[in-house]
Amino acid sequence: MKNRYSKGAHVSEARFREVIRFFAADLPSLTAAELTGLNYRTVHRIYSLMRERLVEMTFQEMQPFAGDIEVDESYFGARRVRGKRGRGAGGKIPILGLHKRGDRVFVSVVKNCSKQELMAILKGHVLSSSDVYTDGWKAYDGLVTNGYQHHRVHHHKNQFARGKNHVNGIESFWSFAKHRLLKLRSIRKEKFLIHLKECEWRWNHRHRKIYPILLKHLRQYPLSTT
């Protein structure tokens, strides 16, 4: 059974395209299985392979950011412990996010929100002389000495936007990602990064038709489902 989009597939090309269409529409794999009449395990495997492929695509498409860049951290995972929030939340996964205004985001899991961790990612993904917008977290001290134009908004002083001084763009992404991941209910820890990078890719292509993009990519680099 020949399939241009999948090597070794035991699914017809027409059915495979249906699965990809439902994946592009962000429908759950169980729903896609019911609509296509395919076995749930088969659809779930295709979905998993597509998520791994999206991770590859995010890194292939990544270019250093320049211009107006928002930087912020967020925490994903278990509910906060004993009322602690933000950087004091226990049992959560810290994520650093970069947002090039009017364009795209890049997210990375970090060990912690220390200056050393954050600066290493910034210097690797944001060109010097860029205008960087952050909140008042002390780990961002030193951005100027690293060649950036640094602008702060102090949330603890109830500052959330002062003209161009804000991080509203990356905070919109956090809201999108958390809402989307919440719908998936429980995600195994070892699979979290794949789902997070899928959120990144979907956000970066939110104004485009995802289905034809995926089909074009799969024609060039078919999935191996054997």
pLDDT of residue 86: 52
pLDDT of residue 160: 55
pLDDT of residue 161: 55
Give the three-state DSSP class for 150: strand
Q: Which of the four pLDDT bands, split at 50, 70 and 90, describes residue 84?
A: low
Q: Which of the four pLDDT bands, split at 50, 70 and 90, describes residue 79?
A: low
Q: Which residues contact 146 (CB under 8 A, 6 or more apart)?
A: 119, 122, 123, 128
pLDDT of residue 164: 77
Q: Which of the four pLDDT bands, split at 50, 70 and 90, describes residue 113?
A: confident
Q: Is the pLDDT of residue 182 over 60?
A: yes
Q: What class does CATH assign to 68-183?
A: alpha beta
Rg of the Cα trace of the chain?
20
Q: Is the pLDDT of residue 88 over 80?
A: no
DSSP category for residue 79: P
In contact, 191 and 92? CB cutoff 8 Å: no
Q: Is the pLDDT of residue 3 over 90?
A: no
Q: Which of 34, 38, 46, 44 is nearest to 8 (CA)?
A: 46
pLDDT of residue 225: 79
Q: What is the mean pLDDT of residues 62-82?
A: 84
Cite the residue boundaries of each domain of the chain with CATH code 3.30.420: 68-183
Q: Is the pLDDT of residue 80 over 70?
A: no
**Cα separation of 57 and 145, whole Å?**
33
In contact, 109 and 84? CB cutoff 8 Å: no
Task: Work out the mean pLDDT of the chain and round it to a whole number.
Answer: 88
Give residue-wise pLDDT tens across range 120-160. 999 999 999 899 999 888 899 989 888 999 998 865 544 45
CA 75 to chain centre: 13
